Amino acid sequence: MITSIIQLIAIFFIPVLIIKYHNFILTKYLGTIGTAYAAGIVVALIIYGLNSLGLNIVVSTDIGEIGSHLSISIAIPLLLFSANLSEAKKLSKTVLKSFGSLIFSAVVVSTIVFYIYAKNMENGAVLSGMAIGLYTGGVPNLNAIGNIFGLEGTIISSANLSDMIIGAFFYIFLLLLCKPLLLKFMRPSDNDIYITDESSMMNTDNLDLATFKITKKLISRVLIALGMALIGAVFGLLVWVILGMQDGQMIDILVPTLMITVTVLGIAGSFNKKIRETKGMNVAGQYFILVFSFALASGMDFSQLQEVIGSTIILYGAITLGVFIMHVTISKLLNIDADCTMVTLTAGLYGPAFVPAITNQIKNDDLTVPGLITGSVGYAIGTFLGMLLVFLYLL
């Protein structure tokens, strides 16, 4: 009982500390989600070490599983609520072609790597589909796809950990070496038009705590997200009942239905101006993503993780490198400039949060808003695209 209480407090309190100290040097380097995973891994390692010494510390898998499912089902609509998807119509043809190149590259490369390498991996089809969600949208899409197909928490954690390791090295490459390399064979930006009209798009991943307040409107939006999760759960139960209420299959049916429902309803809610413009939703959504991340990582089974982490790192490393090469090649053939190629790549591989740092590094602020828009569109389509690919891989 005492262990469960401590576990509950940690799951819901540590994300608060991460958000509060998001400008801390480690958090700025790893990102808030990466920090939550790192903190969870440290907790899991400590428990693993103590148990190896003869102690018997048992972490409740039920608390971790229920907490992670509930938190991500609330986080997804909150994050999507803030995404002003209608702004996509203001993107220029250059940006649309470049982002289309990224999506095409992610699909093709993931498929090639699956059939060459991952087809014989356990859960290889789902992990490859999760990569599609990750490289067109972001970590929330990766986790949603993993939950939809019922992967164990340790497997989902291995995917997140692999992304953290590969993503850290590749992001340093983007910041320091990518533009000089691309300019050797791609044209520079030359007064290119990236957006056709003035945009009100903001960086929804920016955690501005100075202006954050818990208001009635914000609470109502969280309750709407919770209501969407409950609707998804009810749909899942109905599907389970219709299919005969077979023992042991309720969770396998409920979770996918829940994830799909909150994604669809979250996208629908983003077109409502009153919902979309509620202040603080990004902070609330980020909090629930951090709850999910810490709960998942802290419950990892290291004896199982050792069996899958190596193959998952190879899988995601191959896809990352392949997507980069194909995206750059297509952009070169389409005469897209190096800056736009880099920003759409960042928006897809990392999400909107990392776009401003890249546009600042390459000294092209004109691409900040287009990068934020394409990153938001990626959040909206990543889960469905990844799901579709998984079904095709499993045929």
- Report how far Cα 254 is from the mean position of its chain's Cα atoms: 21
Q: Which two tokens mark 245?
A: 């209420």
In this prediction, residue 317 carries a pLDDT of 93
User: What crossing angle do the helices spanning 25-52 and 153-173 adopt, rounded to 10°?
Assistant: 140
Residue 198 belongs to some domain of the structure: no
Q: How far apart are alpha carbons 351 and 286 in whole angstroms? A: 13
Residue 307 belongs to some domain of the structure: yes
Output 272-277 pairs: Cβ under 8 A, ≥24 positions apart. Answer: 275/81, 275/221, 275/224, 276/81, 276/82, 276/83, 276/84
Residue 193 belongs to some domain of the structure: no
Q: How far apart are alpha carbons 31 and 23 in whole angstroms? A: 9
In this prediction, residue 388 carries a pLDDT of 93
Closest by CA to 144, choosing from 156, 161, 158, 162, is 156
In this prediction, residue 199 carries a pLDDT of 64
Residue 199 belongs to some domain of the structure: no
In this prediction, residue 68 carries a pLDDT of 72
Residue 335 belongs to some domain of the structure: yes
Closest by CA to 337, choosing from 179, 170, 189, 137, is 189
Closest by CA to 105, choosing from 126, 137, 68, 132, is 132
| Number of domains within the chain | 1
In this prediction, residue 301 carries a pLDDT of 67
pLDDT tens track of the chain, all 395 residues? 677 777 778 888 888 888 888 778 777 777 787 788 888 888 888 877 777 777 776 666 666 667 777 888 888 888 888 777 778 888 889 999 999 999 999 999 999 999 999 998 888 999 999 999 989 888 888 888 988 888 887 888 888 888 888 887 888 888 888 999 999 989 988 878 888 877 666 555 556 666 678 888 889 989 999 999 899 888 888 888 887 777 666 676 777 888 888 888 988 888 888 888 888 887 888 888 888 888 877 777 666 666 677 888 999 999 999 999 999 999 999 999 999 999 999 988 888 777 887 888 888 888 888 888 898 888 888 899 999 999 999 98
User: What crossing angle do the helices spanning 302-333 and 338-350 adopt, rounded to 10°?
Assistant: 160
In this prediction, residue 62 carries a pLDDT of 63
Residue 91, classed as helix, strand or coil, is: strand
In this prediction, residue 297 carries a pLDDT of 78
Q: Which residues contact 248 (CB under 8 A, 6 or more apart)?
A: none
Residue 192 belongs to some domain of the structure: no
Residue 134 belongs to some domain of the structure: yes
Closest by CA to 183, choosing from 66, 283, 50, 332, is 332
- Give 221-239 as a DSSP string: HHHHHHHHHHHHHHHHHHH
Total residues found in the chain within this entry: 395
Q: In the chain, which ranges are continuous DSSP H helix?
A: 2-20, 25-52, 61-81, 93-116, 124-136, 139-148, 153-173, 179-182, 216-242, 250-270, 273-276, 281-298, 302-333, 338-350, 355-361, 368-394
Residue 200 belongs to some domain of the structure: no
Domain range for residue 330?
2-187+205-394
